[in-house]
Amino acid sequence: MATVTFQDLKAKAKEMHLKLDLTLLRLAFDYAEQAHRNQARKSGEPYIVHPAKTALTLMEYKLDQATILAGLLHDVPEDTDESIHEIKRNFGDEVAFLVEGVTKLGIIKYRGLERYIENLRKMFIAMAADIRVMLVKFADRLHNLETLDALPPEKQRRIALETLEIYAPIANRLGIGELKGQLEDHAFRYVYPKEYARVKEQFDSVYQKHFDYAEKIKKIVRKELVAEGIVPIDIHGRTKHLYSLYKKLLRHDNDIAQIHDLIALRIIVRDVKECYAALGVIHKLWKPLKGRIKDYIASPKPNGYQSLHTTVFCEGGQVVEFQVRDIQMHDLAEYGIAAHWHYTEEGKRSTIPPKKLEWINQLLDWQKQLHNHRQYLETLKIDMFQNRIFVFTPKGDVIDLPEDSTPVDFAYSIHSDLGDRCAGAKINDHIARLDTPLRNGDVCEIITDKKRKKPNRDWLDFVKTSAARYHIRNATKR
């Protein structure tokens, strides 16, 4: 039976180079262990294993001391006789605030649509108040998924489905790619068990061959980089997560031979200049595939992700994807919004740009506008929890949209008046129909008709965003 001791926490803090007050960490561990002393999990483990595992995950993401302590204490007010006031007295206002945020959030359970939407609203309010509340919730959910076997099948599926539809997409919006992948892979087993078994079998059958080949390529590319005066900080393989592989296989007739990034190679260098120099070295060694070079440094993804991607014909004609980035980009790609709590050498933390969290307040605004609960839930799934693309205005401003959005969605996301008067569009300087799906990195220009007073109701057949639907419906009603 699994156990976690204070020594495990201490070792993890050392491994991650965290500047923690170990005396306070010990006090929090002992306090949680004492509070949960007569409790056990459904899996039969002592209850302390859960908050300790939550804290270990938060350490993996190099979060600050208050968040890690909140992870250890997050179930104390809900499941024991100890109150939030006791936590405040022993561990301070900041830790108590985070614990209270997680406690108020409670467990989102599907008990009728109205209750479910209310719980989601609580989640978004907690996120808007302090995003770290959500980071504790992610770590809590990850361990719950790891121990789902102990629950009845119906409950397993509900928790797993909710993870795929709500938790993993929020992690994605916050840029925490690795955590999103872990949440999805654990949930995948329970939501689609047959598909999970099939994809895992396919992956296992080719993994070793891909791994050995990647090791060979790593040696070649390292030697060439050093010869060009570029000493990489790290070169490592990134294995595709199973749920991500499953979604890609669906687009490729379940043919794993068509998946070129089963193991992608990441090259971490010192700065932006070396990123582009390293890309040049790769292209000098091997021929790139046409249309597969992506510059996310010049044009970051909506969640802030930056990297250079290229897919090349390597040794023996095998296709390999490379990702090239500097250490700051890598930090942000791995930890997303959590990277803002990483300590600098001076012990200071960077602040989160308010624009990065604008979408959370937008979630709350929509809830006020949409009184139909089912419509609101569908809006969340389409607008917020789908894959995102970024599209440029002719002036170079980036507009963040759901995948397969159209020029009409683009127009309404800029201004309702621009949407209402929309008569045509240019995509990458070519005239395009208003129902044309936009792609990542497109430049879109809206052609307006000053005589047009209101939008065309037929646009509702193809628009993707709730903002476009809301304005079209309102304008055509009037």
- Assess if residue 460 is contained within a domain: yes
Q: Are residues 209 and 180 in the same domain?
A: no
Q: Do 74 and 144 fall within a single domain?
A: yes
How many domains would you assign to the chain?
Answer: 3
Q: Is residue 357 part of a domain?
A: no
Q: Considering only residues 460 and 299, tell me which one the structure prediction assigns the higher pLDDT.
A: 460
**What is the amino acid identity at position 408?**
V
Residue 269 inside a domain? The answer is: yes
Q: Are residues 205 and 283 in the same domain?
A: yes
Contacts of 86 (CB under 8 A, 6+ apart): none
Does the pTM surpass 0.85? The reply is no
- Would the pLDDT of 45 be above 90? no
pLDDT tens digits for range 243-300: 998 988 888 888 887 777 777 899 999 999 999 999 999 999 999 998 889 999 988 8
Is the domain of 35 the same as that of 64?
A: yes
Please answer whether residues 10 and 58 qualify as being in contact, where contact means their C-beta atoms are separated by less than 8 angstroms.
no
pLDDT score for 257:
76
- CATH number, position 429: 3.10.20.30
Tell me, yes or no, whether 146 and 197 share the same domain.
Answer: no
Q: Which of the pair, 12 or 400, is modelled with greater confidence?
A: 12
312 and 406 inside one domain: no
**Distance separating alpha carbons of residues 80 and 61, to the nearest angstrom:** 28
* pLDDT of the residue at 286: 95
Which of 316, 341, 366 is the C-terminal boundary of a domain? 341
Q: Output the pLDDT for position 346.
A: 42
Neighbouring-strand partners of residue 40: 46
Q: Flag whether pLDDT at 233 surpasses 80.
A: yes
Q: According to the model, what pLDDT value does residue 104 have? A: 73
Are 117 and 147 part of one and the same domain? yes
- For residue 78, indicate whether it is catalytic: yes
Among 341, 367, 399, residue at a domain's last position: 341
pLDDT digits (tens, 9 = 90+) for 10-20: 999 999 989 89
Annotated catalytic residue within 78, 146, 224, 400: 78
Q: What is the maximum span of the chain, computed from C-alpha positions, in angstroms?
A: 73
- pLDDT given for residue 331 in this prediction: 87
| Domain shared by 109 and 19, yes or no | yes
- As a whole number, mean pLDDT of residues 345-371 equals 60
CATH number reported for the structural domain that contains residue 332 in this entry:
3.30.460.10
Residue tagged 């993870």 (tokens): 163
Confidence category of residue 344, pLDDT binned at 50, 70, 90: very low
Catalytic-residue membership of 79: yes
Give the C-alpha separation, 215 to 235, whole Å: 10
pLDDT at 133 over 70: yes
With respect to residue 353, please indicate whether it lies within any of the assigned structural domains: no
Q: What is the mean predicted confidence (pLDDT) over 205-229? A: 92
Q: Of residues 304 and 13, which shows the higher confidence score? A: 13
Q: Is residue 302 part of a domain?
A: yes
> What is the sign of the dihedral through the CA atoms of 14, 19, 20 and 23?
positive
Say which residues have a Cβ less than 8 Å from residue 170's Cβ, sequence separation at least 6. 127, 134, 384, 385
Average pLDDT of span 207-214: 88
Of 191, 214, 244, the position where a domain reaches its end is 191
302 and 441, same domain (yes or no)? no
Instruction: For residue 431, list its beta bridge partners.
Output: 426
Domain span at residue 450 reads 387-477
Interior/surface letters 387-425, b for 16+ CB within 10 angstroms, e for the rest? ebbbbbeeeeeebbbbeebbbbbbbbbeebeebbbbeeb
Confidence band (pLDDT; 50, 70, 90) for 439? Answer: confident
Q: Are residues 158 and 85 in the same domain?
A: yes
Residue 74 within a domain: yes
Tell me how many degrees the CA angle 109-191-302 measures, rounded to the nearest 5: 80
Of residues 145 and 40, the one with the higher pLDDT is 145
Average pLDDT, the chain: 85
Name 425's Cβ contacts closer than 8 Å, sequence gap at least 6.
Answer: 407, 410, 411, 431, 432, 433, 434, 436, 444, 445, 446, 447
The residues near 29 (Cβ < 8 Å, ≥ 6 apart) are 6, 9, 48, 52, 72
Q: Is residue 146 part of a domain?
A: yes
Q: 251 with 327, same domain?
A: yes
Question: Which one of 45, 79, 331, 435 is the catalytic residue?
Answer: 79
Tell me, yes or no, whether 283 lies in a domain. Answer: yes
SS3 of 406, please?
coil
Q: In the 8-state DSSP scheme, what is residue 437?
A: P
Do 113 and 199 share a domain, yes or no?
no
